[in-house]
Structures are given as C-alpha cells and as structure tokens.
Chains A and B, each alone.
Chain A
Amino acid sequence: MNRQRLFNLYGVLAIYRFEMARFRRTLWQSLATPVITTSLYFVVFGSAIGARMGDVDGISYGAFIVPGLLMLSVFTESLNNASIGIYLPKFTGTIYEVLSAPVSAFEIVLAYVGAAATKSILLGLVILGTASLFVPIHIQHPLWMAAFLLLVALSFSLAGFIAGVWSQGFEQLQFIPMLIITPMTFLGGAFYSIDMLPPVWRTVSLFNPVVYVISGFRWSFYGTADVGVGISLMAMMLFLLLCLTLVWLIFRTGYRLKS
C-alpha cells in the first residue's frame, strides 16, 4: 500500500503489457512492412544504384545508407506506435479508465512511451539484422549506437504521444508522418552526406533535427559524421527536452485529455 502511493508499478505494467499485446496481435504488419521496405531500399539503392556510386566518406554506398534507413524506420514507427497508442483509447472512449485510475502523468507517459519505444527498438534491431544480409556491417561504437537508438526511440515516441493527444481524427494522425516526417527524412541525409549538397541547402539542412539524428547515428557505426557528435547529441537532448515540456503542459492543463 505504501509503495503504491509513491509509484504505481502495477499500473504502469498494466498499460505497458496492454500496449505490447496490441503489438503482438499485429506483429506481422508491424515487422514485415518495414523489413520488406528496407530490403527494397537495399536492393534498389544499395545494390542497383549503389554499385555505380562511389564511396561516401570512404564507406561503400550500401553500407553508408544503413544507419539512415534504420533511423528512418525507428522514428516513423516510434511516432506511429505512440500516437496510435494514446489516440485509440481517446477515440474509443476507453481512456476514461486511465484518467480515473491512481496513475500519475509520469506513469502514464512512461507506460505508453516506454511500450512504443520498446517496439521501435525491437524493430530497429530486426532491420539491422536484415541489413547485415545485404551489406557487411561494422559498428565502431556499439554503446553509443545503443544510446542513440534509445534516445531517438524515446524522444520520437514522446513526440508521437503528443501528436496522438493533439489529433482529433485519423486524418490528423496520418498528417504528421506524411507532411512532416517524410520530407524531413528525405532531406535529413539518410541517402547522402549533407556535404554533397549545395551550400544553401546545407545551411537549410542544419535546421532539420533529423540531420543530427542520422549523422550521430552514422558516426556510431563508421566514425564519420556530417556534424560533430557532441552537437548531434545536444540537438537530440534539446528535442527530448522540448517533447518533455510539451507533455508536461498537456497534463498540467488537461489539454485534449480532460475537458
């Protein structure tokens, strides 16, 4: 009873398990789609086109795109999973139970975001496995790689949670990935080094958070980066902080969760 007053562990576990069960029910869609898509990228960009491309920063093109592709899947999935995770109960009305339960805002976020991040990390590892079937992969800084993966999965799941709270319809739920994430991803240096861009676009790119994510992540693989690793890390921390602040505001004001 005393322990429950400080932290509702059973409550967090209940939500987390519920979300993971949803994931298991759609395991095939959740994993097969990204794996097939990534494989296609490797076939098209890595083998077909990559064979005619020179190395980038001394890395074969096929290997060069691995970190970017992996990140692309991880943050799209983080956004999707977390936004649907909180949007669905809002949509079906079952959120009443979570709101009426003795769980704190922190615990709610921990459970939903934790589950979404778990899923996308699992997915990232599966994609990494898939990629290794196509190109030889070497990870220079495995711990940093794991840290970046975790940080990205967490912050983009948080962003997804916010999007799910904000959304008032399924169209809005798809609006963010379609209109914001896809362009940011393609312009984020997944398929090229931003050094390859004309100076103007290089400057523009520096305002794109995805550039920092991919650059930092690629550094953990190959030791080369578009922007300094420290800057990458800081940019990602800033993004995480921004998301945390927004979530805090949501719960403080009850925004779109409580009338």
Chain B
Amino acid sequence: MNSIISIAHLNKRYASGLEALRDVSLEIERGEIFALLGPNGAGKTTLISIVCGIVRLSSGNISVDGHDIAREYRAARSKIGLVPQELHTDMFETVWDTVKFSRGLFGHRPDAAHLEKVLRDLSLWTKRHDRIMNLSGGMKRRVLIAKALAHEPQVLFLDEPTAGVDVELRRDMWALVRQLRDSGVTIILTTHYIAEAEEMADRIGVINKGELILVDDKASLMKKLGKKQLLVQLQEPMLAIPDGLNDWQLVLNDGGNELECTFDTGEEQRAVPTLLRRLGELGVEFRDLKTRQSSLEEIFVNLVRQSR
C-alpha cells in the first residue's frame, strides 16, 4: 500500500447546516509534498481538522497508514503532526516546556536530544527559556512547528504556513520542509497562493466550495492554471490589431486604448521582450505597461467550468 492517507467519500456538514466538504476522496502518497490549493472558505482547514481528529466527520472513511481515524485513533493520530493556521499558543509557558508537553502528549518518552535538534533547526534554541507570550508572531509560528515535530510524526500538516510570515521564516520553513521530506516525512500543506504550491509541492489538489476539483502533478497542473497578462496603455487608440502581431493572443480594451496580451506562466520571460520589440518596430507607442497574474478567483471559475 503506497498511500499514507486515504480519504474516501468524505462529507462534512457543520451544525449550522453548512456543507463544508462534499464527497471528497483523496490519496496522499507516502513521502510526497502535497499542496491543497483553494480560496478562503474552500474547506481546507476543515479537511485537515477532520483527519487530525479535531472536527467530526459527517460521513466517509479516513485512514492514516492503514489505521482508521475513528476506530484506531491512537495509532492514526500518533503518526500526525499538525501546525494550525491560527497562532494558538500558550502564554506563560516557556518554549522548552511547551515542546516537552507536546512530546509527552503524543505518548513519547522524554528525549531532550531530539527536542534540542528541533529547536535548533527552527532557530529557537536560544529562546528556549523565553515565555511564549514574549515572542514575536513569526517566532510563535516556529514554536508551533516545533511542537508538531516534537513527537517525530510521519505526516506533517501545515495549514497556511506562510500566512503573515516574513521572508526569512518562509525560507527557513521551506528548507525544513524539504529536509523533512528527505527524511521520509509526508507533508501536506494548504495555501491559497498558486506560487507557493508551485514552489513546494510534488502534487497539488485544488479544492473549491468543499469539492476537490482535481488532483494532479504540479507540472501538468501549472499549465492549466497559470496565465499572465501584459497590459499596454497605448498613446494613440488602435482600431484593430495589426497583422504583424498575429503570433500573440491579443485583445483590445477600453475603446482601443489598451492592448491586453495573455501568456502562459513561464512563457512570459521570452514573450514579453519580443512583443515589446515588435511593437517598437511597428511604431506603436505606449504610455505605460502593467502585468497582471490571473487571480485565483478567475482560475477557479475556469477550473470549475472545465470540470463540469
């Protein structure tokens, strides 16, 4: 059996009546980095919370490493580490005490050497005697990661790990994630940034309004997803697109005052300079240039349309 998490026909309806997940089935492969990509409110946190035992499922089956999360919850949960989306931390405890607590809570005997390694990896070692409430937001996020790693999980969930995180932490975090993956840990992260999923994941699942729209390898998905646009504000309005520009996907907006050019992501580095050179050759003058990445909203609308 190659999948470490197996989700079958999962449904979740909250007490409010809201259907947060609809018939979600998903296999997470052992040792991969899987990104769950979707806009706010798509059901990402709900999905993770159900697998971790924080939220109850309405129907469906989930197993972690072959253990059903309800019947064999001890075996299932002891394999999982969770870094929640919100900064839920204690206040008065020290960093050291809180990671020690986490390790014990998950049924592991004390192991100071392991905890030291975790704290060093997260640049928290010098802060180990500090009270958590005196730490910055970024440091608190590191503490939450340390807590999740304290019991040597085989699966790590990172729920929107980079929300409100500075560049340095993001870099450290990605380095750590890769290091963990290399040591055999399976990582599932949620995000609403396409770029983030693209940077980190082996596979990506797209979720919207509680439905898993598609699951695919990163490479093939990025082709479907990414579109970049160049908007050229023209000096003189154009009546029609000149014949010399047939190689590009162009549209005229704003009564001919704006030229809109659409590229696939990755393509624009080559295509933009050649387009601009061509415009010069044709004597088209412009006042301003803007680039725009198709918003996640647009992408989801497209994906949903395609999946119908």
Q: Is A129 an interface residue (CB 8 A)?
A: no
CA distance A104 to B78 in the complex (A): 12
Q: Is B107 an interface residue (CB 8 A)?
A: yes
CA distance A111 to B155 in the complex (A): 27
1/0 per residue B45-68: CB within 8 Å of A? 000010011111000000000000
Please state if A99 and B53 are interface contacts (CB–CB under 8 Å).
yes
Which of A11, A254, A259 interacts with B106 by CB under 8 Å? A11
Which of A11, A21, A99 interacts with B107 by CB under 8 Å? A11
Query: Of residues 1 to 38 in A, which have CB atoms within 8 Å of B's CB atoms?
Result: 4-5, 8-11, 13-15, 17-18, 21-22, 25
Query: Of residues 150 to 168 in B, which have CB atoms within 8 Å of A's CB atoms?
Result: none
Please state if A25 and B92 are interface contacts (CB–CB under 8 Å).
yes
Please state if B88 and A102 are interface contacts (CB–CB under 8 Å).
no
Q: Is A101 an interface residue (CB 8 A)?
A: yes
CA distance A259 to B88 in the complex (A): 17
Please state if A258 and B77 are interface contacts (CB–CB under 8 Å).
no
Please state if B105 and A258 are interface contacts (CB–CB under 8 Å).
no
Q: Is A100 an interface residue (CB 8 A)?
A: yes
Point out the residues of chain B lying under 8 angstroms from A8, CB to CB.
74, 107
Tell me, rounded to whole Å, the shortest Cβ–Cβ distance linking B187 to chain A: 16
Please state if A4 and B78 are interface contacts (CB–CB under 8 Å).
yes
Point out the residues of chain B lying under 8 angstroms from A5, CB to CB.
74-75
Q: Is A96 an interface residue (CB 8 A)?
A: yes
Q: Is A135 an interface residue (CB 8 A)?
A: no
A4-B107, A92-B90, A102-B107 as given contacts; A97 in contact with B102, CB under 8 Å: yes
Please state if B88 and A94 are interface contacts (CB–CB under 8 Å).
yes
Please state if A100 and B78 are interface contacts (CB–CB under 8 Å).
no
Point out the residues of chain A lying under 8 angstroms from B110, CB to CB.
10
Point out the residues of chain B lying under 8 angstroms from A250, CB to CB.
none
Binds A, one of B26-34, B79-87, B241-249, B254-262: B79-87
Which of A4, A9, A15, A100 interacts with B54 by CB under 8 Å? A100
Q: Is B108 an interface residue (CB 8 A)?
A: yes
Please state if A96 and B84 are interface contacts (CB–CB under 8 Å).
yes
Q: Is A103 an interface residue (CB 8 A)?
A: yes
Q: Is B15 an interface residue (CB 8 A)?
A: yes
Please state if A99 and B106 are interface contacts (CB–CB under 8 Å).
no
Point out the residues of chain A lying under 8 angstroms from B101, CB to CB.
14, 17-18
A10-B109, A103-B105 as given contacts; A93 in contact with B88, CB under 8 Å: yes
Tell me, rounded to whole Å, the shortest Cβ–Cβ distance linking B184 to chain A: 18
CA distance A9 to B106 in the complex (A): 10
Please state if A259 and B90 are interface contacts (CB–CB under 8 Å).
no
Query: How many A residues face the partner with a CB closer than 8 A?
Result: 29
Please state if A102 and B106 are interface contacts (CB–CB under 8 Å).
yes
Q: Is B89 an interface residue (CB 8 A)?
A: yes
A4-B74, A5-B75, A258-B54 as given contacts; A98 in contact with B86, CB under 8 Å: no
Which of B49, B76, B92, B104 interacts with A11 by CB under 8 Å? B104
Query: Of residues 79 to 106 in A, which have CB atoms within 8 Å of B's CB atoms?
Result: 92-94, 96-104
Q: Is B141 an interface residue (CB 8 A)?
A: no
Tell me, rounded to whole Å, the shortest Cβ–Cβ distance linking B96 to chain A: 12
Please state if B105 and A96 are interface contacts (CB–CB under 8 Å).
no
CA distance A143 to B88 in the complex (A): 44
CA distance A101 to B86 in the complex (A): 18
Tell me, rounded to whole Å, the shortest Cβ–Cβ distance linking A19 to chain B: 11
Please state if B86 and A93 are interface contacts (CB–CB under 8 Å).
yes
Point out the residues of chain B lying under 8 angstroms from A18, CB to CB.
93, 101
Q: Is B203 an interface residue (CB 8 A)?
A: no
Which residue of chain B is the closest to A99 with respect to CB atoms?
B54
CA distance A11 to B53 in the complex (A): 16
Tell me, rounded to whole Å, the shortest Cβ–Cβ distance linking A208 to chain B: 35
Tell me, rounded to whole Å, the shortest Cβ–Cβ distance linking B167 to chain A: 26
Q: Is B192 an interface residue (CB 8 A)?
A: no
1/0 per residue B8-20: CB within 8 Å of A? 0000001100000
Which of A25, A92, A102 interacts with B73 by CB under 8 Å? A102
Point out the residues of chain B lying under 8 angstroms from A258, CB to CB.
54-56
Tell me, rounded to whole Å, the shortest Cβ–Cβ distance linking B103 to chain A: 8
23 pairs, CB–CB < 8 Å, chain A vs chain B: A4-B74, A4-B107, A9-B107, A10-B106, A11-B107, A13-B104, A14-B100, A14-B102, A14-B105, A15-B105, A17-B101, A21-B93, A21-B97, A93-B84, A94-B89, A96-B49, A97-B88, A97-B105, A100-B52, A101-B77, A101-B107, A102-B74, A102-B78
Measured CB to CB, the residues of B under 8 A from A are: 14-15, 49, 52-56, 73-78, 80, 82, 84, 86, 88-93, 97, 100-110, 147
Closest 5 interchain pairs by CB? A14-B104, A93-B88, A102-B74, A100-B52, A4-B107
